[in-house]
Structure 1
Amino acid sequence: MPAPDVPLRKLGFLTIGLFDPDEPAAGHATTLDVIGLGERLGFDSAWVRHRHLQYGISSPLTVLAAASQRTTRIELGTAVMPLGWENPLRLAEDLATVDLLSGGRLNPGVSVGPPMQYERVREALYPDTGDAEDFSYARVERLLSFVRGEPASDFAGVEGFEVFSHRVEPHSPGLQQRMWYGGGSLRSAQWAGEHRMNLLTSSVVKAEGDAAPDFAAIQLGHVRAFRAAHPDGERARVSQGLVVIPTDSASAKQREKYAEYAAKRLPRTAEPQGPGRLLFAPDLVGTAEEIAERLYGHAAFREIDEVAFALPFTFEHDDYVQILTDIAERLGPALGWRPAS
């Protein structure tokens, strides 16, 4: 097994936080338990997905605010918040509040574009302004300006008994350095670099151009384009989020389930999918040693030193405990990573 050029520096994981619609509180409690387990195992970060009108976390910052009070060290991230559903000023207030509650551990990941199934939710979401809403990168720029503390109002001072600030309050000075953009296209990667954000890559990229689609090569191109555009160059932060399922301590029944899960999802990795030409990475299932070898053979992985491995969507809590434990105790060390104390 080839040695990595740089040992893995930060190891994180990503969960969707599914719940039963008849008992949603239990699902949210389980998500908090998983984040707590991640801290005990020494993970550097825990990330939650964002789902609207589905049976997954619709309010990730609320969940992370709760997680911040149950943990002391692990970084807490969103991967990612679709800004088409958000008002940037209000979101900036929530981000700063949760960041302060967590002691500066929040890592907000965002993306742009129209909300998913926009024509079906438009009247409920933006009944009066649907035609005027801007879902471009400008929406991120507004959010970044508020996070930096730039003016949101032309007035600051006392009016009667009320005291007003010209910027979003509360303000968390270090938050701007922990803003991430979730991008799967070359332009998104370049834009994130130009705007001094960090880059979240995932198991999905856009197959652009006429070349034969190769997931690792496309993702490597994104990483390099991002760093070429970022003022920090090679030091600019990139986190990779492949689906990784180690089986070292899994039962025979779990190994069978994991193999079936990956096999069902494998056909979509053969060629780009849909009008957006989305290309998916295969799920990595096997022993920690086998997965480490496959990662070292992944062109994009060899140029990053942070990961947030994605947990499969539909598994049981016991499966997540086994997978996270094997990642922390076997796969991480095989990649040169050391757990946080």
Structure 2
Amino acid sequence: MFDEADPRRGHESTLEAIELGERLGFDSAWVRHRHLQYGISSPVAVLAAATQRTSRIELGTAVIPLGWENPLRLAEDLATLDILSGGRLNPGVSVGPPIHYDEVKHALYPTSSDTEDFSYERVRRLLDFVRGEPATDFRGVEGFEVFSDRVQPHSPGLGSRLWYGGGSLRSAQWAGEHAMNFLTSSVVKAEESEDFAEIQLSHIRAFRSHHPDGDRARVSQGLVVIPTDSASASQRAKYKEFVEKRTPRTATPQGPQRLMFAPDLVGTSAEIAEQLHAHVAFREIDEVAFALPFTFEHDDYVQILTDIATHLGPVLGWHPAEQ
């Protein structure tokens, strides 16, 4: 989050956090979109800067809402970013109409707002372009110009590192059928149950049952965790207040889509580890993305990341990557 009068500082804070993550040995760092908010509206641009400040850590988007994007242009940006990173990019995407679509559609799609396709077909188009399928019937030389029939640059391997961020059984199945990786976050749809962990577990299993790699298919679980091992008294109080304000929404399905939210986990690393080991979906996966709260200060993020790397991670059996 940034001050509207000083957006550079907020973006620098994100880049500094990614650099810190690499020094602490994290395997990956993920950035999400915040359209028309005081957050990162262009993760591709921010991660391009991050490629020049890091050398090892993988970089991901969790997630790019494709309703705001042209799949052909996005494929070019993602391939360029992957080339700059040396093959470290993990693009996560999702579909559906942009949030507050009725208010933004005339600015976003002034002549096609009522005919835009926000279905899985938008993801399929992106997959094809990234994986090197033809984008046009024309290729060859025209004067001094040389044209390709597929997206350039083409980055081999990027197609296998595309992730779908889904919160429903249908999304999990579709991602598996199209050989994507699967991001399951702290928000799911209450379709078969009102137990968050059980819902998430059913999505993971549905994804893998439809994926060519079966149980080896990559799944990353996203959760908000706030370890307090080295936190100051004022930080602990702030974290507790943050969690208390968000906890009521986790009790029952929210809104017409019956969304279920995972509880935020706050406490010592030992306490958080105990809760995670009791989480049936956590026991099913090999990768987890711990989300940083959106409204905290930079010093808070430094403390949380450091505690995850030096306390929580080792308790969970994770070891920092070698520099």
Q: Deviations over 1:121-170 (max 9, x none)?
A: 11100011112210000000000000011100101110111000000000
**1:330 alignment partner in structure 2:** 311
CA distance in 1 between counterparts of 2:200 and 2:24 reads 29
For residues 53-72 of structure 1, what are the structure 2 equivalents within 5 Å?
Answer: 53-72=36-55
Using the TM superposition, give the Cα deviation of residue 181 of structure 1 relative to its aligned residue in structure 2, in angstroms: 0.2
Q: 2:132 aligns with which of 149, 155, 168?
A: 149
Specify the SS of the correspondent of 1:243: strand
**2:227 alignment partner in structure 1:** 246
**1:73 alignment partner in structure 2:** 56
Q: Deviations over 1:11-33 (max 9, x none)?
A: xxxxxxx1111100111011100
CA distance in 2 between counterparts of 1:123 and 1:283 reads 36
Percentage identity across paired residues of the two chains: 78
Using the TM superposition, give the Cα deviation of residue 315 of structure 1 relative to its aligned residue in structure 2, in angstroms: 0.7
One-letter amino acid of the counterpart of residue 183, structure 1: G
CA distance in 1 between counterparts of 2:34 and 2:233 reads 32
Specify the SS of the correspondent of 1:78: strand
**1:138 alignment partner in structure 2:** 121
Query: Aligned pair 1:177/2:186, yes or no?
Result: no
Q: Deviations over 1:168-223 (max 9, x none)?
A: 000001100100000000110010000000000111110014x4x00000000000
**1:9 alignment partner in structure 2:** none
TM-score (norm. length: structure 2): 0.99
**1:294 alignment partner in structure 2:** 275
Q: 2:191 aligns with which of 188, 193, 208?
A: 208
**2:27 alignment partner in structure 1:** 44
One-letter amino acid of the counterpart of residue 291, structure 1: I
Query: Aligned pair 1:121/2:101, yes or no?
Result: no
Q: Deviations over 1:212-250 (max 9, x none)?
A: x00000000000000000010000000011000000001
Specify the SS of the correspondent of 2:29: strand
Using the TM superposition, give the Cα deviation of residue 47 of structure 1 relative to its aligned residue in structure 2, in angstroms: 0.3
**2:7 alignment partner in structure 1:** 24
One-letter amino acid of the counterpart of residue 201, structure 2: L
**2:66 alignment partner in structure 1:** 83
For residues 283-322 of structure 1, what are the structure 2 equivalents within 5 Å?
Answer: 283-322=264-303
Instruction: Give the superposed CA RMSD.
Output: 0.6
Which structure is higher in RCO with an 8 Å CA cutoff and minimum separation 6?
Answer: 1
CA distance in 2 between counterparts of 1:74 and 1:291 reads 25
Q: Deviations over 1:73-122 (max 9, x none)?
A: 00000000000000000000000000000000000000000011111011
**2:89 alignment partner in structure 1:** 106
Specify the SS of the correspondent of 1:173: coil
**1:263 alignment partner in structure 2:** 244
In structure 1, list runs of 5 or more residues that go unmatched: 1-17
